[in-house]
Chain A
Amino acid sequence: MMTKGMQIKLFSVALAILVSCFQYGHAQNNKAKLVVKFETMANNKPLVLGDSGYVNEFAESYTITRLKYYISNISLGQKINSPASTEVFLVDAAHEDSISIWAWPGLYTKMIFTLGIDSALNNSGAQDGALDPLNGMFWTWNSGYVYFKMEGFSNASTADLQRIEHHIGGYQGPNKAVRQIELNLQQPLIINEGDQKEMTVVLNLDKYWKGQNDISIASKALIMIPGEWAKKSADNFPGMFTVKIVK
């Protein structure tokens, strides 16, 4: 037989569940959807994988065959930041995938995201989804994720087959290559309840080769491990992105 105390407790639990259901529904309705597309440009034109004829600031011509990178913790910011999406996305220049996130109504002047993977996900075992090692972004001999993987060819490369292989990663201590990217929006973005907004973020490869640091192909065609050169490359990440279109 239930005592009165137990009845009250059970009733409160049921009530709490009902209330939280309503709150959840309310929150979902309140939010707006933001679709983010990623594009790659080089020499002021779209980068086409496999096409030759691109030239960097060091007058080195190059062809890119593969370009993939991880984006996580996407949020919109101003004075109060919209909560960051916990999802991890793998952007692949070979596909035209877009990323969908939820955003709170508000007025925003910034777009914020992380290029790379938070430390904890680098050393907590086998992951799935975007982080599945099947995606070729996990080092098998030196555990951890490659955050930014760019491969191709260049006459300036002294490596075998004149390859370019830049595998940028590192999550431990001084070798951390995760970078926070904060982009200013040209015009404030106003998001209302139930809106569907679209945004295009552009990666300008010209700024990868020459940004805060010089990364010429002749000086470093292969970057395969965390460390000095991976960090130099990572320091160029924040400068290579801009927000092009918001609609």
Chain B
Amino acid sequence: MLKLKVILSLFLFAAAFLFIIAAAKDDGFGFYNPTLLQLEIPKGWPKPAINYFAKNKLTEQGFQLGKKLFYDSRLSRDKEVSCASCHQPFGAFATFDHDLSHGVNNSFTSRNAPALMNLAWMTSFHWDGGINHLEVQPLSPLTATNEMGQTLDSVLLMLKADTVYLRMFKAAFGEANINSQRMLRAIAQFTGSLISAGSKYDRVMNGLDTFSNFEKNGYRHFKNNCASCHKEPLFTDNSFRNNGLPLNRFNDAGRQKITGLSSDSLKFKVPSLRNVQLSFPYMHDGRIFSVPQVIDHYISKINIHQPGLDSVLRKPIILTKLQKNELTYFLYTLTDTAFTKSKRFGPDGPVFFKH
């Protein structure tokens, strides 16, 4: 029995030793010693419906690699457009003050760039919900001819020729072997970590601040008129709805393009209202410029005979001019400047924004 004990302990020691050696092995691209991170769920929030980090373990090294990729315009065909060109941190990661965004070769997108925040709680991506997982989302802007206009092969070739990237992939994934899966997973670690939960609204909910009377009245109007779709605390219910906007010049039928169902015609994803003050202009094509104008749309501009109009909008919202202002000021309490000015989420150095 003693012999067995000795053999077993020797075996365990050898295994531990080999493991340490393997982990510490430097193949010329640095070491692999990842710092595990946990997705922090803000107080009072539900757990994400999908755990995007089950297979893609969140680490500091993966996050930093994802962040570098996010701000690197060399990922695009003309080396001028990065993810951050259209998803600007100071605009809550939407395109600040632009209805549509600019892609390579002076092209335009046909939809308004959505704000990137709290993506870990989303069950689909794009205005039409066509993307089913956080990891595969970047494939669309990377390859779209009116966005970054690049092929996946070319992106990977560029990354593989860059020693800084080789070292960062080693640090994040244990091998200086760059492939599409690792690149997409790193970007997901960055985008999935973009949590905005530090607005005045959040401080009030946590008992650390109080609304003004104006804001308090606005919150009541919000709960009575908007909260069924823009559900707290994420301010979206992740559903697709036809909100009475007529078909635009791009003949964009929204969700119908994905499902092929005529009943999904002109349905678009309900966007979160967090940071809504910064993510103007609004709607899937940026056709409405200000928050009061959006409220006007729901008060009086909806064509209630539009086929497929969402049932909750058949009865127009009734608000006085004062109430409209109160609602607007409540919505401005959703602005989270700690998020938009975060050093952790912002670029490490100067970044050229093409817009």
A contact set with B: CB distance below 8 Å = 2, 7, 10-11, 14, 122-128, 132-134, 138, 140-144, 175, 225-228
Tell which of A122, A126, A226, A227 touches B185, judged by Cβ atoms closer than 8 Å: A126
Which 10 residue pairs spanning A and B have beta carbons closest together? A125-B135, A126-B184, A143-B132, A227-B260, A126-B135, A123-B132, A140-B139, A128-B181, A126-B181, A142-B130
Determine if B290 is an interface residue (Cβ-Cβ < 8 Å): no
Question: Which of B4, B52, B180, B185 gathers the greatest number of chain A CB atoms within 10 Å?
Answer: B180
Q: With a CB–CB cut-off of 8 A, which chain A residues contact B5?
A: 2, 7, 10
B contact set with A: CB distance below 8 Å = 1, 4-5, 8, 52, 55-56, 126, 130-136, 139-140, 142-144, 152-153, 156, 179-181, 184-185, 188, 257-258, 260
Q: Contact at B156–A140, with CB atoms within 8 Å?
A: no
Q: With a CB–CB cut-off of 8 A, which chain B residues contact A125?
A: 52, 55-56, 133-136, 184-185, 188
Q: Contact at A143–B130, with CB atoms within 8 Å?
A: yes
Tell which of A2, A143, A226, A227 touches B133, judged by Cβ atoms closer than 8 Å: A143
Q: Contact at B156–A134, with CB atoms within 8 Å?
A: yes
Q: With a CB–CB cut-off of 8 A, which chain B residues contact A141?
A: 126, 130-131, 140, 144
Tell whether A122 pairs with B139 under 8 Å between CB atoms, given A127-B181, A128-B181: no
Tell which of A10, A123, A133 touches B8, judged by Cβ atoms closer than 8 Å: A10
- Of all chain B residues, the one with the shortest Cβ separation from A122 is B132
Q: Contact at B139–A133, with CB atoms within 8 Å?
A: yes
Q: Would you give 29 A-B contacts (Cβ < 8 Å), ordered by A? A: A7-B5, A14-B8, A122-B132, A123-B132, A125-B52, A125-B55, A125-B56, A125-B134, A125-B136, A125-B184, A126-B133, A126-B181, A126-B185, A126-B188, A128-B179, A133-B136, A133-B152, A134-B156, A134-B180, A140-B140, A141-B126, A141-B130, A142-B131, A142-B257, A142-B258, A143-B130, A143-B131, A144-B132, A227-B260
Identify 16 new A-B residue pairs, CB closer than 8 A, beyond the known A123-B133, A125-B136, A133-B180: A2-B5, A10-B4, A14-B4, A14-B8, A125-B135, A126-B180, A126-B188, A128-B180, A132-B180, A134-B152, A140-B136, A140-B139, A140-B140, A140-B142, A143-B130, A225-B260
- Of all chain B residues, the one with the shortest Cβ separation from A2 is B5
A-B interface contact total, Cβ < 8 Å:
77
Q: With a CB–CB cut-off of 8 A, which chain A residues contact B142?
A: 140
Q: Contact at A138–B136, with CB atoms within 8 Å?
A: yes
Q: How far is the CB of B127 from chain A (nearest CB, A)?
A: 11
A142 to B132 CA separation, bound complex (whole angstroms): 8
- Of all chain A residues, the one with the shortest Cβ separation from B1 is A7
Q: With a CB–CB cut-off of 8 A, which chain B residues contact A138?
A: 136, 139
Q: Contact at B180–A11, with CB atoms within 8 Å?
A: no
Q: With a CB–CB cut-off of 8 A, which chain A residues contact B143?
A: 140
Q: With a CB–CB cut-off of 8 A, which chain A residues contact B132?
A: 122-123, 143-144
Q: How far is the CB of A150 from chain B (nearest CB, A)?
A: 21
- Of all chain B residues, the one with the shortest Cβ separation from A139 is B130
Q: With a CB–CB cut-off of 8 A, which chain A residues contact B8?
A: 10, 14
A11 to B142 CA separation, bound complex (whole angstroms): 55
Question: Which of B142, B143, B156, B260 gathers the greatest number of chain A CB atoms within 10 Å?
Answer: B260
Q: With a CB–CB cut-off of 8 A, which chain B residues contact A10?
A: 4-5, 8
A141 to B52 CA separation, bound complex (whole angstroms): 19
Q: With a CB–CB cut-off of 8 A, which chain A residues contact B134?
A: 125
- Of all chain A residues, the one with the shortest Cβ separation from B260 is A227
A204 to B134 CA separation, bound complex (whole angstroms): 39
Q: Contact at B179–A132, with CB atoms within 8 Å?
A: yes
A222 to B224 CA separation, bound complex (whole angstroms): 48
Q: How far is the CB of A181 from chain B (nearest CB, A)?
A: 25
Q: How far is the CB of B53 from chain A (nearest CB, A)?
A: 10
A7 to B132 CA separation, bound complex (whole angstroms): 50
Q: How far is the CB of B149 from chain A (nearest CB, A)?
A: 12
Q: How far is the CB of B327 from chain A (nearest CB, A)?
A: 35
Question: Which of A125, A132, A133, A144 gathers the greatest number of chain B CB atoms within 10 Å?
Answer: A125
Q: With a CB–CB cut-off of 8 A, which chain A residues contact B156?
A: 134
A133 to B135 CA separation, bound complex (whole angstroms): 12
Tell whether A134 pairs with B130 under 8 Å between CB atoms, given A125-B136, A127-B181: no
